[in-house]
Structure 1
Amino acid sequence: MGSLERQSKLPPILDFSAFRGENEVAKAEFLRALGQACRDKGFFQLTNHGIDPDLQRRIFAASKELFDLPLEEKLKAKLMPGTSGRGYETIGGQMLEPGSAPDTKEAIYLGEDLPADHPRVLKGEYGCGSNIYPSCLGPQWHETCMEYFQAMDTLARDVMRALAAALNIPEDYFDRFTDAEPTATLRLVHYPPTPTTSEKERGCGAHRDFGCITLLLQDRVGGLQVQDEETGEFLDVEPVPGAYVVNLGNLMARWTNHHYTSNTHRVMNRSPTGRYSVPFFYSGNAKYTLETIPGLEQRPQQAVARKYGPAIPSEPYGPVSVAEFLRDQFVQSYKRADDYRPKTVGATA
């Protein structure tokens, strides 16, 4: 593959100020490029997004402070079935790619910090609860994470309006999905140095994201790879300082009846240094019922066949709530890691 052809297959770098500005010609060109990226790749990089570089610096510092702690401290905040999807995930805790080994990453899940007596918590809504993190980090650490969470929530809502406009539906179409209390997760992730790995080992296994959109802030180490799903080749996404890698998840692909696509990607940290990334997973109102957007009932069969093959049913999707859809996808990824462990122990006993 030549350099120009390879470049054309990578996520484009888009200037968000064109969407927010007054220049209608620039906005129209932005939306054309955005729509093309969402149909072909499900990925793009976003610059001039309005997030304070100092806040980005502080969230990376908070991430490093967490992962530098001794393991026994991090395990005090371990992600467990009863922690509402909050807490510390150990290396090997998740397995996103069937047939590989569990992911060689550690992470923490954070969200809107809700007390035990909050109505959403009392109702048992998916992903609702108090944040769990090592107490030795102190309140300032948590405040930085929540400041970043709120900034990402605002940016995600703006991105959703752009995605609607690029679909040629009203710009406010997704507002009912985004205006209610959101299902959103902030994740701080650390990939230890793995300059040589086995064939099955991944920092993060090949997968499509579960939810609606992901806003990823990555450091300069690199390692994120997006698959060219026509050839199967994984292409490196070079970090752009301060930019967000934005990708669409399975929820958005389903909702748009695959007019927009989610794409397979992975992380291979073959650097001699650790890699830090900060993804923000946004999926809007957990109670929202997903049904095909009017006007998108005719599925683009050629694109679906090329990217997904027989995995996509030919019949129209039935309605499903956001919470039900996400819970099923989340549970399956952790079940794979649990199923893998007994085989590993048995093989080495």
Structure 2
Amino acid sequence: MSAPTAPPILDFAAFYGSDVDAKEKLVEDVRKCCLRNGFFQITGHRVKLDLQKRVMKCSQRFFDLPLDEKLQIDKNLNSFNRGYELLRSQMLEAGTGPELKEGLYIGEEIPEDHPYFVQKKLNSGPNQWPQTVSDREEFQKTTMEYYHAVFELAKDVLGVIALTLGVDSNFFHPLTDGAVATMRYLHYPAQPKDEDERLNRGIGAHTDFGCVTLLLQDEVDGLQVLDAPSGQWLDVKPVEGAYVVNLGDLFMRMANDKYKSNIHRVINKSGQKRYSIPFFFSGNPDYLCECLPNCRAPGEPAKYPPITVQDMVTGAYKESYGRAEKYKKEIESKKLAVVPSVAAVGA
């Protein structure tokens, strides 16, 4: 048996071209990836390299701000998951420490009179923009230009995945119409190489919550994907211009576990700062997720009952952030418990 390799790099240009054989090969390659690990990389897409570079500079400019200026748009100040996330706010892997990353959460501009905001739909509200970042107007314009470009690419990726299931490429239009997606600017501070990786992971081992994720990496590595069949962790080396694509739990549920939402993590042992920009495509909050065509044998029952995008993703968010808060409270309680014993020794 051949040794496992990192997720393959696929030329997505075939999806847009007229070469039938090339398109069929792309669809088959994506199908194989979905069945094995749910991860692949794509080049040849329609998001321009210049835009990718500009948006990465926006991310770096934001994280260079003083902490008190970033905290002016703390996402805990609202209920719709927009704004700045402090270091160690989330804990995706039980048994590790809260994660050594900070973020800025961004989505479609949803005004307060929009039905999604009024009805408290998933991650729906106005963006919280930093007021002190340099060239603020360009920062907002570039960020949203990039958001919309990757939103369209995510729809194209779902079009290819639909083809792998033997249905038309527009099968997921009811899911993508009115869809909610969240983009994150992420910064992983440099870690000393002798740090305990279980306590200082950039992101603990986890699967994503929604349908599909598109990740833009800078030149610093750290992303690892678990090769489930072999149990080995595989490094996903950054490739200029490429997107790392992976399926989330919601899609695996719809695929009756046929397609994989795979475990991955970030361990930043480079000694450098690391920046990445994941784009989490959830879908229309009211879309009812049911077993997809050709994902079960005749007479085989669906493994999961129907669930909306809203309920599935909201529940996963609460679990991961609640885990981090519980960990912090436990640590604080242990510290307080030590104080009386120290005082007694001093007496």
Change (3 A) 1:207 1:280: same
Matches of 1:132 and 1:288 in 2, distance apart? 27
Could you tell me which of 316, 320, 327 is aligned with 1:333?
A: 320
CA deviation map 1:239-286 (0-9, x unaligned):
111100000000110011112111000000011110000000001211
Could you tell me which of 308, 316, 339 is aligned with 1:321?
A: 308
Unaligned runs of 5+ in 1: 302-313
2:295 corresponds to which residue? 296
Could you tell me which of 178, 185, 188 is aligned with 2:185?
A: 188
Unaligned runs of 5+ in 2: 337-347
Q: How does 1:118-197 map to 2 (within 5 A)?
A: 118-137=114-133, 138-178=136-176, 180-194=177-191, 195-197=193-195
1:105 corresponds to which residue? 101
1:79 corresponds to which residue? 75
1:304 corresponds to which residue? none
Matches of 1:199 and 1:187 in 2, distance apart? 23
Q: TM-score, normalised by structure 2?
A: 0.92
CA deviation map 1:102-147 (0-9, x unaligned):
0000001100011112222112212110111321122321111111
CA deviation map 1:172-220 (0-9, x unaligned):
2111111x21110010000000133214221100000000000000011
Contact 2:291 2:302 survives alignment (8 Å)? no
Output the amino acid matched with 1:191: Y
1:45 corresponds to which residue? 41
Indicate the SS of the match to 1:35: helix
Give the C-alpha shift of residue 231 in structure 1: 3.3
Aligned length: 331
Output the amino acid matched with 2:158: M
Change (3 A) 1:253 1:108: same
Change (3 A) 1:11 1:139: same
Change (3 A) 1:155 1:199: closer
Indicate the SS of the match to 1:5: coil
2:234 corresponds to which residue? 235
Q: Bigger CA drift: 275-284 or 231-240?
A: 231-240
Matches of 1:53 and 1:165 in 2, distance apart? 27
Contact 1:77 1:133 survives alignment (8 Å)? yes
Output the amino acid matched with 2:8: P
Indicate the SS of the match to 2:297: coil
Give the C-alpha shift of residue 79 in structure 1: 1.4
Contact 2:27 2:164 survives alignment (8 Å)? yes
Indicate the SS of the match to 2:3: helix
Output the amino acid matched with 2:317: F
Output the amino acid matched with 2:333: G
Contact 2:100 2:188 survives alignment (8 Å)? yes
**Structure index of larger Rg:** 2
Give the C-alpha shift of residue 165 in structure 1: 0.3
CA deviation map 1:281-316 (0-9, x unaligned):
0012111000101332339x9xxxxxxxxxxxx972
Indicate the SS of the match to 2:75: coil
Contact 2:41 2:243 survives alignment (8 Å)? yes
Matches of 2:22 and 2:150 in 1, distance apart? 24
1:88 corresponds to which residue? 84
Output the amino acid matched with 1:36: K
Indicate the SS of the match to 2:215: strand
Matches of 1:296 and 1:98 in 2, distance apart? 31
1:66 corresponds to which residue? 62
2:286 corresponds to which residue? 287
Matches of 2:241 and 2:194 in 1, distance apart? 28
